[in-house]
Amino acid sequence: MRARVFPDYEAMSVAVAYVVAGKLEEEPSLVLMLPTGITPLWMYRRLVEMHRSEGLSFANATFFNLDEYLGLAPDHRASYHVYMKDHFYGLINPDPARIFVPNGAAPDPEAECERYEAAIREAGGIDVCVLGIGRNGHIGFNEPGAPFDSRTRVVKLSESTRKVNASDFETERAPERAITAGMATIFDSKSVLLLASGTNKAGAVAAAVEDDVSENMPASMLRSHPNAVLFLDEPAASDLGHGVAG
Ligand code: F6R
């Protein structure tokens, strides 16, 4: 796993947007897996600008999202469906038939997870998986302890994640459960780009890069991935030892 460190959030976001755009230009039918949250917002913003001003086209790409809260209908304002429409899918030129976000309101969530894995297989697997990282090291909603061989499934969110994500809701906690792409689903991606910004991610980044590879630190799994790159701003890299980043 390589780490690239940028002076600030904007530089990191622009760099990752260029990597995604470059891969899309090489392979217009790219299959992407994408995160929500605060970290990828400026990457999306830059990709939208490239679409508008430079003609970057997403028409032949396929999009999968990493996760969705269980129990939220796709039109719930805190759902990841709405987030993606507002920040990305609604601002570019995707083929709606090739946008996949887990349906948190599916009557049979287990069947929804199987359907999701099947759709990924039918698309030929994920080419580029973009990830954020939780303060506890989660990727997608794979919380500490998630088995490395897990696939898309219903998971319980940790108390800390529910607290951190509560600001999207009018309650004190985000929902209890979510559907997430599994650890193995993520690992099978040809290329993984993990984004982290800010000092509140520095501990998780350092643990993922420098401590033992362990299911208790989900992001550490990426150390054995053949093509995983960390995109960090300086604050997120601030706990790394010498010689790791550069
Ligand atoms: C969201 C997701 C999560 C976030 C992580 C960081 O789809 O999969 O793993 O990437 O919680 O969130 P932010 O960027 O808000 O700090």
215-235 pLDDT tens trace: 999 999 999 999 999 999 999
* Interior/surface letters 164-177, b for 16+ CB within 10 angstroms, e for the rest: bbeebbeeeebbeb
pLDDT tops 60 at residue 142: yes
Q: What is the Å distance from ligand 1's center to 165 Cα? A: 9
Angle at 243 between CA 237 and CA 246, to 5 degrees: 55
Q: What is the Å distance from ligand 1's center to 25 Cα? A: 26
Interval 171-201: pLDDT, tens: 888 999 999 999 999 999 999 999 999 999 9
Rounded mean pLDDT of 46-69?
98
Q: Whose CA is nearest to atom 8 of ligand 1?
A: 140
Angle at 98 between CA 93 and CA 100, to 5 degrees: 110
pLDDT tops 70 at residue 243: no
Model-level pTM?
Answer: 0.97
- CB of 59 sitting under 6 A from ligand 1: no
Q: What is the Å distance from ligand 1's center to 132 Cα? A: 5
Q: Whose CA is nearest to atom 11 of ligand 1?
A: 134
- CB of 36 sitting under 6 A from ligand 1: yes
More confident call, 242 vs 196: 196
Which residue is listed with tokens 């990709």? 47
- CB of 142 sitting under 6 A from ligand 1: no
Rg (CA), the chain: 17
* End-to-end Cα distance, the chain: 12
Q: Coil, strand or helix: which one is 145?
A: coil
The two structure tokens encoding residue 59: 């028409």
Which residue is listed with tokens 């199987």? 114
